[in-house]
Amino acid sequence: MARPRSRGLEVVLFAAVVAVALVAIVLGSRALRPGSGAPLAQSSTSAEPVAQTSPSAKAQICASCWGDGSPDPQTTGAAVMENGVQVLKVGLASGYYEPNNFTVQAGVPVTVVFTGNAEGCLAEPELPELGLKADMSGGSATLVLGQLKPGKYSFTCSMGVNEGTITVR
Ligand SMILES: [Cu+2]
């Protein structure tokens, strides 16, 4: 009888098709998974999205902030002495604070004045190390830091990106 024989052939063919399909699925899912097994070091050369998955990358990308999460352009500003206070005037470029690097003297009061047409998280600058937050929705905001100890203090948008640094010496 030919019947059992063709049945057996069908089973073998079916098994072969299933095996090929499984191999295709496994290979396909490997190819689709981005970054698996890819060396992270390569991503540091540019603003590739892979860099954001590394724990050391900036926390988030915000709609209001600079570009794609790559580091902001760095610019250096100088404190202006006003009535014995070191005043740091921080404006806005497109999506980041500018200037974003200052060096001030320890023990001499510091005030930061943010100005500019900020939107979203950029309108709420923070100095996390000092626990200070500002609200620029009125067009400007002043943060009185007082006298600082030597060290580095960052300022960020309220989502924790767009860092600027105040170095106290
Ligand atoms: Cu932001």
* Domain residue ranges of the chain, discontinuous segments joined by +: 3-53, 80-168
Mean pLDDT, range 125-152, rounded to an integer:
96
What residue type is assigned to position 86 of the chain? Q
Choose the weakest-confidence range: 39-53, 77-91, 96-110. 39-53
Residue 58 CA to ligand 1 centre (angstroms): 11
Average model confidence (pLDDT) across the chain: 77
Residue 93 CA to ligand 1 centre (angstroms): 13
**pLDDT value at residue 45:** 39
Whole-angstrom distance, CA of residue 143 vs CA of residue 155: 11
Name residues whose C-beta falls within 8 Å of residue 164's C-beta, 6 or more positions apart in sequence: 72, 90, 97, 99, 100, 101, 102, 154, 155, 156
**pLDDT value at residue 103:** 98
- Per the CB < 8 A criterion, the answer to whether 114 and 134 are in contact is yes
Residue 61 CA to ligand 1 centre (angstroms): 7
Whole-angstrom distance, CA of residue 120 vs CA of residue 157: 9
Residue 96 CA to ligand 1 centre (angstroms): 8
pLDDT exceeding 90 applies to what percent of the chain? 52
Q: What is the CATH number of domain 80-168?
A: 2.60.40.420
